[in-house]
Amino acid sequence: MADERFPEIQGGGSLILAWQVRNKKVLVVGGGEVAAGRILNLLNADAKVVLISPRDGLNPEVAHRIERGQVTYHDKLFEPSDLDDPAITMVMTAVDDPEASTRIWKLCKEKRIAANIADVPPECDFYFGSVHRDGPLQIMVSTNGNGPKMANIVRRRIAATLPPNIGEAIAKVGALRKKLRVLAPGDEQGPKRMKWMSKVCVQWSLEDLCEMEDVDMNELLQGYVPDQVPSLSQVRSGEEPGVWQFDGSYGWSCVI
């Protein structure tokens, strides 16, 4: 019997993660239009891309990446020895030869390397979704292989409802969090830091967050110790009672 206190299990989904591939080597096999999209996603994630594809099959965008030195390029067909590099953490194939793709998939399984074989869901350890990007904000919509075009439609509809300055606001929040970690380091401060930052995100509008400058962040951080979140106007005026001001030392002082 189902317990209404807990959510029901909905099988058939994927575990959607933000995979950190910064400075990690990723092998891409194929140089067509699909490969161009894969390469762009990887470069946006600061991965080290190694590309294997005959030059006569290169997409113009892929050729551009090669000319700019944005990828490490090998003008040849894939060989099993290309997987011998222990630094390879991921493989993506985008070729028109199903048999060759399956061979690469099997080799990756033998070497326990995560792989994505384009347009062959059963031979994928992970999928790509339709992604909306605005600065640090990334939103992915996945249909788990049921309808890629529908994922694109849903993603566009979601993006249309977002404020145009949401990415900038998130970037400012990220800068504030970094400052907070400097002023209140230590794992024991973790729960309080999270709770205080949550208050800031709830109490400040997106417009306020976008407008927040470095000096405003320093003033706002004075409310951390007393667990207060003054408004942007209070931060800038310094005239409201209860506004905390940093006295320039490693401690805190309260101006009444």
CATH number of the domain bearing residue 98: 3.40.50.720
Over residues 50-69, mean pLDDT: 96
> Which residue in the list 3, 82, 119, 208 is annotated as catalytic?
119
What pLDDT does residue 255 have? Answer: 37
What strand order describes the sheet that includes 25-29? 72-74, 48-52, 25-29, 88-93, 114-117
Per-residue pLDDT at 10? 87
Establish if 67 belongs to a structural domain: yes
Per-residue model confidence (pLDDT) at position 18: 87
Closest C-alpha to 104, from 71, 75, 79, 73:
79
pLDDT of residue 94: 93
**Per-residue model confidence (pLDDT) at position 134:** 93
Q: Per-residue pLDDT for 249 more than 70?
A: no
Say yes or no to pLDDT of 173 above 60: yes
Does 155 share its domain with 120?
no
The answer to whether residue 65 sits within a structural domain is: yes
Beta bridge partners of 139: 132
Mean pLDDT for the stretch of residues 132-157: 91
Cβ 46 vs Cβ 35: under 8 Å: no
Q: Is residue 33 part of a domain?
A: yes
- Together in a domain, 184 and 120: no
Compute the distance between CA of residue 214 and CA of residue 175 in angstroms, rounded to an integer: 9
Same structural domain, 243 and 204:
yes
CATH number for the domain harbouring residue 224: 1.10.3280
Q: What average pLDDT does this structure show over 67-72?
A: 98
Residues 6+ apart with CB under 8 A from 29: 35, 52, 53, 78, 91, 92, 93, 94, 95, 104
Range of the domain at 156: 130-162
Most confident of 106-115, 146-155, 231-240: 106-115
User: What is the pLDDT, as a whole number, of residue 242?
Assistant: 53
Summarize the confidence of residues 146-159 as an average pLDDT: 92
**CA nearest 194: which of 222, 224, 232?**
224
Please report whether residue 4 resides in a domain. Answer: no
The confidence score (pLDDT) of residue 145 equals 76
Same domain, 43 and 100: yes
Task: Say if residue 30 is in the same domain as residue 112.
Answer: yes
Instruction: Answer yes or no: is 137 within a domain.
Output: yes
Predicted confidence at residue 151, as pLDDT, reads: 92
Active site residue 214: no
CA angle 130, 174, 236 (to 5 degrees): 130
* pLDDT (average), residues 201-230: 93
Give the whole-angstrom CA distance, residue 5 versus residue 69: 54
Q: Indicate if the pLDDT at residue 85 is higher than 90.
A: yes
Mean pLDDT throughout 83-95? 96
* Of the residues 104, 128, 152, the one at which a domain ends: 128
The answer to whether residues 195 and 227 belong to one domain is: yes
> Token pair for residue 85?
């590099």
Q: Is residue 6 part of a domain?
A: no
Among residues of the chain, what percentage have pLDDT more than 90? 74
Is residue 61 pLDDT above 80, yes or no?
Answer: yes
Identify whether residues 113 and 67 lie together within a single domain: yes
What number of helices (H) and strands (E) belong to the chain? Answer: 9, 9
Mean pLDDT of 1-5: 78
Q: Is the pLDDT of residue 174 over 60?
A: yes
Residue 197 within a domain: yes
Q: Is residue 177 part of a domain?
A: yes
Per the structure, the count of domains in the chain is: 3
Q: Are residues 139 and 67 in the same domain?
A: no
**Cα–Cα distance for residue pair 62/68, rounded to 1 Å:** 10
Report whether pLDDT(32) > 60: yes
Q: Are residues 65 and 120 in the same domain?
A: yes
The model's confidence at residue 256, banded by pLDDT at 50, 70 and 90, is: very low
Query: Which of 139, 162, 185 is at the close of a domain?
Result: 162
Say yes or no: 29 and 115 in one domain.
Answer: yes
* 66 shares its domain with 90: yes
Identify the pLDDT of residue 247: 41
The neighbouring-strand residues paired with 52 are 29, 74
Q: In the prediction, which pLDDT does 239 show?
A: 52
- For position 251, what pLDDT does the model report? 38
**Do the Cβ atoms of 83 and 91 come closer than 8 Å?**
yes
Could you tell me if 104 and 144 lie in one domain? no
